[in-house]
Amino acid sequence: MVSALGMAAVLGGCGSTGSSDVTLRLVAADYGDSRAHSSEKYWDDLVKDYESTHPDVKVEVSVYSWNDVDRKVKEMVDAGHAPDLAQIGAYADYAAAGKLYPASELLSIRTQANFLSQLSDAGQWKFTQYGIPFAASTRVLFYNKTLFTKAGITPPTTWAELVADAAALKDKGVKYPFALPLGPEEAQAETMQWLLAGGNGGSGYTDDIGTYTIDSATNVSTFTWLKDDLVGKGLTGPVAPGKLNRADAFAAFADGQVGMLNGHPTLIQQAAAKGVKFGTVPMPGRTGKARASMGVTDWMMAFKQNGHRDEIGDFLDFVYSDKNVLDFSRTYGLLPVTSSASNAMSASNEATDKSLRPFLEELPSTELYPVGKTSWAAVSAAVKQNIGQAVAPNGSPNGVLTRLQSTATAADSATAD
């Protein structure tokens, strides 16, 4: 699985050395965009700080690319050598298999209560929290200020305004008036953002009780609008949305070729590095601001196989201190997962914190993928491979969403107890 929050090359382990009574092994994902900026340095510094006051505990951290980390953990678990801790993209399969400690058996009451409620709720499997939020992100609409000025337009607040802006950008020769990445890299994210913006009770992939509603009338209407009013009018650029990946769309925005697109915080640094003048606004809904923003959370989890519950819990209380949460968020342009760190970032005048504020403001109304469902991995994979067909010239939004609903229903049945 490739997370919406991470990217980088495979890196080796980190952590200090020396004899100790207990050794904790943590496998973590890399959020950096280069070896010099890798998560390895973050964990190395954190572990040194922790071990300096806990001489009886050694922590060994192995950092891997998002292309590899989930597979690495699965291989370790399947081989009977689960790590003590894993910081990866999904937890539900391991929770359902009875392999994880509940968060309540690990964390202090203060630490567990400090997580943002919508994130800790998403970490529940069968009403018990196993997934511990580690990093969060929301989406907002990025727009190129220079291109908007040349076209004489202002940021859209409704879908009608979005189409009008995209048409004006097209008239000025902008390559991608609105970049719509529905390619297989991360189509499940772009899709959910539009489903949440659909109005009339658009609910994303599931309803309020967790039943898949992919082919709801509102969702079909949303993709019909995308196909007819945005893609069909030639407003999404030269690459078919089903073949446009998120990384390529972000790169095109940083190159000044995109008028608008949905983006997460990592695009800030990417665009700024290329000198693009950009602004951000909430994602437009059908008739006003979208009901909710799509959020993504990556997860920390603790495996029971090796014991070490007390040591794991003490280490995690340290990991989730305000200092460490804020250091990580500021280094990698992501949002804090705890209330106290979020409040500190909101009140801060640091440049990095101010740049993240639009995303932080979306967090209270964020809706996440249905990660507590063990069927989600299969459904997400199906969306990645098929949703682009819904907006193709000869595509059928109703047909594609109906097939995805069938896939989701079958996957749900197959993973039910």
Is 264 part of any domain? yes
CB 374 within 8 A of CB 92: yes
Most distant pair of Cα atoms in the chain: their distance: 68
- My answer on whether 131 and 263 are in the same domain is no
Is 114 part of any domain? yes
- My answer on whether 248 and 381 are in the same domain is yes
Per-residue confidence (pLDDT) for residue 20, from 0 to 100: 54
- My answer on whether 203 and 224 are in the same domain is yes
- My answer on whether 270 and 209 are in the same domain is yes
Is 285 part of any domain? yes
Per-residue confidence (pLDDT) for residue 202, from 0 to 100: 59
- My answer on whether 310 and 389 are in the same domain is no
Within 13 Å and on the Cβ side, how many CA atoms surround 283? 30
Is 3 part of any domain? no
The whole domain housing 380 covers: 139-294+372-415
Per-residue confidence (pLDDT) for residue 287, from 0 to 100: 86
- Helix or strand run (H / E) with residue 257: none
Q: Within 10 A of 34 (CB to CB), how many other CB atoms are there?
A: 8
Per-residue confidence (pLDDT) for residue 35, from 0 to 100: 67
- My answer on whether 352 and 391 are in the same domain is no
- My answer on whether 174 and 261 are in the same domain is yes
Q: Domains in the chain: how many in total?
A: 2
Per-residue confidence (pLDDT) for residue 10, from 0 to 100: 37
- My answer on whether 49 and 151 are in the same domain is no
Beta-strand pair 22-29/85-88: parallel
Is 86 in a helix, a strand, or coil?
strand
Residues 6 or more apart whose CB falls under 8 angstroms from that of 13 comprise 60, 61, 62, 63
Is 8 part of any domain? no
- My answer on whether 228 and 377 are in the same domain is yes
- My answer on whether 133 and 144 are in the same domain is no
Sequential pLDDT tens for the chain (417 residues) = 344 454 333 344 444 444 458 999 999 999 886 666 788 999 999 999 999 999 999 999 999 988 788 889 999 999 999 999 999 988 999 999 999 999 999 999 999 999 998 899 999 999 999 999 999 999 999 999 999 999 999 999 999 999 999 999 999 999 999 999 999 888 999 999 999 998 755 578 998 888 999 999 999 999 999 999 999 999 999 999 999 998 899 999 999 999 999 998 889 988 999 999 999 999 999 988 777 888 889 999 999 999 999 999 999 999 999 999 999 999 888 999 999 999 999 999 998 899 899 889 888 778 889 988 889 988 998 999 999 999 999 999 999 999 999 999 999 888 764
Is 4 part of any domain? no
| CA angle in degrees (0–180, nearest 5) for 192-159-190 | 20
The CATH number covering residue 197 comes to 3.40.190.10
Is 5 part of any domain? no
- My answer on whether 390 and 338 are in the same domain is no
Domain boundary among 338, 353, 368: 368
Is 348 part of any domain? yes
Per-residue confidence (pLDDT) for residue 416, from 0 to 100: 66
Q: Token pair of 403, please? A: 């097939």
- My answer on whether 322 and 351 are in the same domain is yes
Per-residue confidence (pLDDT) for residue 210, from 0 to 100: 86
